[in-house]
């Protein structure tokens, strides 16, 4: 069974997501060119690069492209340089894997300090049962949107997991949910 660990609930959830084999949005390390010419050379070496140029709206003839590639001092209009830069940035990004349905349907068991109102205890330790959450009852749209944009940090994941998964499954708690501990395991 996959398991995630972290010093916060959000970190443990991100760790669990990684244990499901899901890759976040990332940037190709080979995309380091600074000038428009170096970026264009890099883009024209792959199908991915040509597709990014087209997606950015750069429609030029083959002859013009060859002139540009042959002379790095060629005077290219600013609007074309902007389109090349836009295409270069787009080609450098690797989109994230989607969050698998198996993750969203997961029966989460949270071990660590859980607080709701005055009730604070170390769940899953000392004879206490872990906090069990049925992911099928959650609303994942906000979490998935942040994941797609590469903005699902530990804090954001924890906040939205509380608001849209925990609360949707078992309710608000007596005074909201808080995870003030320093170590969490989620299976």
122 and 182 fall within a common domain: yes
Instruction: Indicate the number of domains in the chain.
Output: 2
Tokens encoding 38: 């170096």
| Stated pTM of the model | 0.81
- Mean of per-residue pLDDT scores for the chain: 94
Beta pairing partners, 122: 113
Q: Is residue 93 very low, low, confident or very high in pLDDT (cuts 50, 70, 90)?
A: very high
129 and 176 fall within a common domain: yes
Mean pLDDT score, 6-35: 95
Mean pLDDT score, 90-106: 95
Domain boundary among 94, 115, 137: 94
35 and 89 fall within a common domain: yes
14 and 63 fall within a common domain: no
pLDDT at 179 over 80: yes
Mean pLDDT score, 104-127: 93
pLDDT at 173 over 80: no
15 and 104 fall within a common domain: yes
9 and 36 fall within a common domain: no
Q: Which pLDDT score, from 0 to 100, does residue 100 have?
A: 96
Beta pairing partners, 94: 26
124 and 173 fall within a common domain: yes
Domain boundary among 45, 72, 94: 94
Domain, as residue range, for 132 = 4-25+97-186
pLDDT at 174 over 80: no
């Amino acid at each position: 069974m996959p398991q995630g660990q972290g010093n916060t609930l959000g970190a443990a959830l991100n760790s669990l997501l990684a244990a499901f084999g899901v890759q976040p949005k990332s940037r190709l390390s080979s995309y380091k060119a600074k000038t428009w010419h170096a970026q264009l050379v890099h883009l024209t070496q792959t199908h991915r690069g040509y597709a990014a140029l087209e997606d950015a709206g750069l429609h030029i003839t083959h002859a013009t492209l060859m002139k540009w590639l042959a002379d790095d001092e060629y005077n290219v209009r600013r609007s074309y340089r902007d389109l090349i830069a836009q295409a270069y940035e787009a080609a450098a990004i690797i989109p994230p894997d989607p969050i698998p349905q198996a993750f969203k349907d997961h029966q989460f068991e949270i071990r660590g300090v859980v607080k709701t109102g005055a009730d604070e205890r170390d769940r899953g330790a000392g004879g206490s049962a872990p906090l069990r959450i049925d992911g099928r009852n959650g609303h994942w749209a906000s979490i998935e949107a942040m994941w797609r944009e590469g903005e699902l940090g530990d804090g954001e994941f924890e906040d939205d997991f509380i608001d849209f998964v925990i609360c949707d499954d078992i309710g608000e708690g007596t005074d909201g949910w808080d995870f003030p501990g320093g170590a969490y395991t989620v299976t």
